[in-house]
Structure 1
């Protein structure tokens, strides 16, 4: 765990979801292309004003350098920001899991997604709404943008708010937890994953989706594997 707690820059960058890394690369290249086009147009305008075709050719040649420069600047500014966001979410998720005394806090995967709490009946939903405190720092919607952190011992779901993060859902990786697809009578995205909580969230049900299908697929497979291991351990203990 001590080794896991200390991250190099390379490992921190690898913890960023692959789709988000590709988005950053695309964004940097797009800004470089836009900068190149603007530079060529500016050079062409100057050349037209002075009736010098050399300005246009010079602008075309220089645009290659300008595009690379702006792409590099965008990359250097966006990459550290993404790493810091992931490290902050990772740190807060581990802190919450430690506060609930959950074992094995090694982080397997962390990515952005959407979270929605669903209820088994209307009475539970009304009870939850009546006891819920209003958070004026976030928009009140049924689906929230969240950070989803999968550890070897828990699933932690956090939302961002002014002043820090808020714990939305935490579920130990135990035999009692269940990961499944939505039922026909559940009014959620058909591509969502339904996680029925246990331990501190026993009786609560979370619907999870993500705009990053690759990370979402890995999350489903890894959590399925961890839950299956927990069930096998429980079965082995019962036989003793």
Structure 2
């Protein structure tokens, strides 16, 4: 894609790429977080700078969105460059003309991913689905994120990760039975929303904008 002349990759992103954290070839099944070089996030599959520069965008999609990750559904995580004074992270559904403001910066998006991970159906109690993990596995990821993001995270964010590491799983019952019974979480969706508002100050957060014409 043709990147705007005034675009610069965030320093945190550049540093992570130089460490090899985005290279899937560095993924291993090591249980020790210090030995796991690839940085896994539940909803973000990373793109390198070379992949971003060579990304083939559909013509009807906004040139203001520079993708840096995607998920299993093909939805895009990107930097939104319409305002020269800020570079927020946005979440762009592949099959919807609207996208959503997710966080004010790359670093804030990483932290919000950890909060979202902790409140979603990623865990099992005694048994679960193939995509779910045990509490020990969850703590391994949390420890790894704290190690890898520690230099770019605020102290209060690191304190929240420590708090998550000390928690046990609890069963969250869905508000409506039509949604099913519920799932195990470290924090409830309501707690996640509270912590997002507490730590991430961004007046556009969760607002929508058109990214496909």
TM-score by length of 1: 0.25
Structure number with greater CO (CA < 8 Å, separation at least 6) is: 2
Greater fraction of residues in helix: 1
Q: Rg larger in 1 or in 2?
A: 1
